[in-house]
Structure 1
Amino acid sequence: MGKSLCVPPRPGELCAPIRLRLPGDHSTQQLTSRHRVTGVETDGGAVVVRVEITDPATSRPIDVRFDVVPPGERPTARSVLLGTADLAAGPAEVYGTYLGVVADEN
């Protein structure tokens, strides 16, 4: 059972699985508005978020923030717990927060 920070994919909609290696404890990434976070894992000491995204041609891009924090330190009331990770520094919780639609650049 996955979690979406914006809108889940439609039933039966094709999705591409991607792995987002988070560059730090707090990072902003772009996803398609219709997506599903399917898990959190560690890879070489870094946190990786597994996401299924819909076709970018049919789904608007959105900005999301990922936070890797000590257990019990929820970043904001809107943040969604995506999973946990065992890091060298100890256990951590990984949260995602929807920030909004990517602004058009003129």
Structure 2
Amino acid sequence: MALSLCVPPRPGELCAPVRLRLPGDHSTQQLTSRHRVTGVETGDGGEVVVRVEITDPQTSRPIDVRFDVVRPGARPTARSVLLGTVRRGGEPAEVYGTYLGVVADEN
């Protein structure tokens, strides 16, 4: 599984692997617009971790993405993309990602 919530990296483009530990069931994170989600897992402390490969932030605009960890079948929005499933506390959960838009410049 490798998918993007915005634009996939260019063929042959170098990407840095990062692990995003989600602080709760619903969280917003910033990614580069060109990225690739490579998996989801449950961390050692029971938290959900999203594995992402990002391109150089100097060459790719920052975007906001919302991650939702929900019970199976509870898709957050029609635009949300299923990233994978995990087990938390012995129960299954689905992890969704939703592209929210380009990070706004502050004046």
State the TM-score, normalizing by the size of structure 2. Answer: 0.97
- Of all paired residues, the percent bearing the same amino acid is 87
Name structure 2 gaps, 5 residues minimum.
none
Q: Does 2:68 correspond to 1:64?
A: no
Instruction: State the 1:79 CA deviation.
Output: 0.2
Separation (CA, whole Å) in 2 of partners of 1:42 and 1:33: 25
Corresponding residue for residue 79 of structure 1: 80
Corresponding residue for residue 30 of structure 2: 30
State the TM-score, normalizing by the size of structure 1. Answer: 0.98
Kindly provide the amino acid, as one letter, of the partner of residue 105 in structure 1: E
| Higher mean C-alpha deviation, range 26-35 or range 80-89 | 80-89
Kindly provide the amino acid, as one letter, of the partner of residue 29 in structure 1: Q
Separation (CA, whole Å) in 1 of partners of 2:89 and 2:11: 38
Instruction: State the 1:81 CA deviation.
Output: 0.2
Q: Does 2:54 correspond to 1:50?
A: no
Corresponding residue for residue 95 of structure 1: 96
Q: Secondary structure at the match of 2:6?
A: coil
Q: After TM superposition, which residue ranges in structure 1, 4 or more long, deviate above 4 angstroms?
A: none
Separation (CA, whole Å) in 2 of partners of 1:90 and 1:41: 13
Kindly provide the amino acid, as one letter, of the partner of residue 57 in structure 2: P
Instruction: State the 1:30 CA deviation.
Output: 0.1
Name structure 1 gaps, 5 residues minimum.
none
Cα displacement string for residues 18-38 of structure 1 (whole angstroms, at most 9, x for unaligned residues) = 000000000000000000000
Count of aligned positions: 106
